[in-house]
Structure 1
Amino acid sequence: MGTSGITETDIANYLANTPGFFERNAELLASIQLTSPHGQRAVSLQERQMEMLRDRIKGLEHKIVEMIRNGQDNVAIADRLHRWTRALMDTADAADLPTVLVQQLKHQFLIPQAGVRVWGVAEAYAGLPFAQGVSDDARSFANSLTLPYCGVNSGFEPVRWLDDPSTVMSIALIPLRRGDTAFGLVVLGSPDPTRYSADMGTEFLIRISELAGGALSRLLPPAA
């Protein structure tokens, strides 16, 4: 039978399914020369295998370093979240909660600007600044959010709750809920247009939403 119809795939399959070939032809291993990826010099098969193994080890080392770095970042975020939550729990006067919430968010997570509004509050808090200036449209928007919103600042009303709205390029909008109904909204703002992008994960912001909603629900009348 001629060899003209034999392909590289046929040869590879033959060698893969004939483990004794190189045992019977051991001299071939010593004579095979390959081109090194680290230059144009020729190397033996064994040396080429060692280079491939070293490259694979380097790749694994990079993955391990990345995993360690991500683990350290997650621990740091968990510590900040713990300190922020404790600050809310340590606030005795419910009227101070919105201020503590915003100040601690900015401090713990290095957020340039943050604000919060709460509506439907108990009568004792109705005249305070955090319960003012929220339109029906903003309330409906907050109620429609099933997840925190992240993206560019395209003129959302909550941006006006921040200290310097004109510098805000990207925002995160975090609904506060009691049950299925939104009663407030936290807004985070940054001059960096990529800080809060539409494709970023929202797991951390969901935790902020749940914890902030639980804390600020103290401002609401008792549930019926």
Structure 2
Amino acid sequence: MAPITEEEIANYLANTPDFFERHANLLAAVQLSSPHGHRAVSLQERQAVLLREKIRALELKAADMIRHGTENSAIADKLQRWTRELLRTREARDLPAVATRAIATQFLVPQVAIKVWGVSPEHAHEPFAQGASDDVVALVSSLTRPYCGANPGLEAVQWLDDPAAAASIALIPLREGAGPQAFGLLVLASGDAQRFVSDMGTDFLERIGEFASAALSRLRP
């Protein structure tokens, strides 16, 4: 007769839940190695340890979710205040300066720059309408979502006051509707290499791009 295998024992115990009710003394008698040392502990103590570890993991996960919720709420409030600044701006020509200044203030971004192209003739000589080459225009139109990451030395980074201090950047394309052609670019930069990283979520940056695009469309014909 073949010996009983560990798998058969495990299956029997799993399918016979009242086994330990009939043999309650085994719960105290069975000795297992402790996960926190080499001493032997009872099955009950081992289960209690595992349960405490699961509870601790759930507590940490809940705390992390609360923290992220609080951070997202704070960002949403800042986004609302920034949007309000755009809505309160009467002169269209003032919008690029208001948008960049408010981003720097509300989101504590050290450097912010903006360029808009294809503007109406009355805005063609404004500083924000100058300096975007055909290469930049093509690059921005190829972006389907904001670019975040290290500073690769792109031409658009030169729009910043101190390009050499930009350790990480975010490039936010400006578009009207869902069309592929972009009409502008927001450049955010930080001296902190971890401020804008390639695997970060871009939901709020996309919202900034949408609101800025809607406001700055007033500069176009």
Residue of structure 1 equivalent to 2:97: 99
Alpha-carbon deviations, 1:11-55, whole Å to 9, x = none? Answer: 111111122322332322221122222333322222222222211
* Shift of residue 126, structure 1, vs aligned partner: 1.3
* Shift of residue 2, structure 1, vs aligned partner: 4.8
**Paired residue total:** 219
* Shift of residue 192, structure 1, vs aligned partner: 2.3
Which of 159, 162, 168 is the aligned partner of 2:160? 162
Amino acid at match of 1:213: S
Residue of structure 2 equivalent to 1:193: 193
SS of 1:204's equivalent in the other structure is: helix
Residue of structure 1 equivalent to 2:127: 129
* Shift of residue 73, structure 1, vs aligned partner: 0.6
Aligned CA distance change for structure 1 residues 183 and 2 (closer, same or farther; 3 Å): closer
Alpha-carbon deviations, 1:86-132, whole Å to 9, x = none? Answer: 11111111111101100111111111111000111112211111111
Residue of structure 2 equivalent to 1:68: 66
Gapped regions of structure 2 (runs ≥ 5): none
* Shift of residue 195, structure 1, vs aligned partner: 2.2
Which of 8, 23, 26 is the aligned partner of 1:25? 23
Q: 77-86 vs 130-139, which deviates more?
A: 130-139
Alpha-carbon deviations, 1:156-199, whole Å to 9, x = none? Answer: 11111100011112211111112313111111112223322222
Gapped regions of structure 1 (runs ≥ 5): none
In the alignment, the residues of structure 1 paired with residue 129 and residue 39 of structure 2 have an alpha-carbon distance, to the nearest angstrom, of: 74
In the alignment, the residues of structure 1 paired with residue 28 and residue 152 of structure 2 have an alpha-carbon distance, to the nearest angstrom, of: 67
In the alignment, the residues of structure 2 paired with residue 191 and residue 214 of structure 1 have an alpha-carbon distance, to the nearest angstrom, of: 29
In the alignment, the residues of structure 1 paired with residue 166 and residue 24 of structure 2 have an alpha-carbon distance, to the nearest angstrom, of: 70
In the alignment, the residues of structure 2 paired with residue 59 and residue 154 of structure 1 have an alpha-carbon distance, to the nearest angstrom, of: 39
SS of 2:211's equivalent in the other structure is: helix
TM-score (structure 2 length as normaliser): 0.93
RMSD of aligned alpha carbons: 1.5
Residue of structure 2 equivalent to 1:204: 204
Residue of structure 1 equivalent to 2:139: 141
TM-score (structure 1 length as normaliser): 0.91
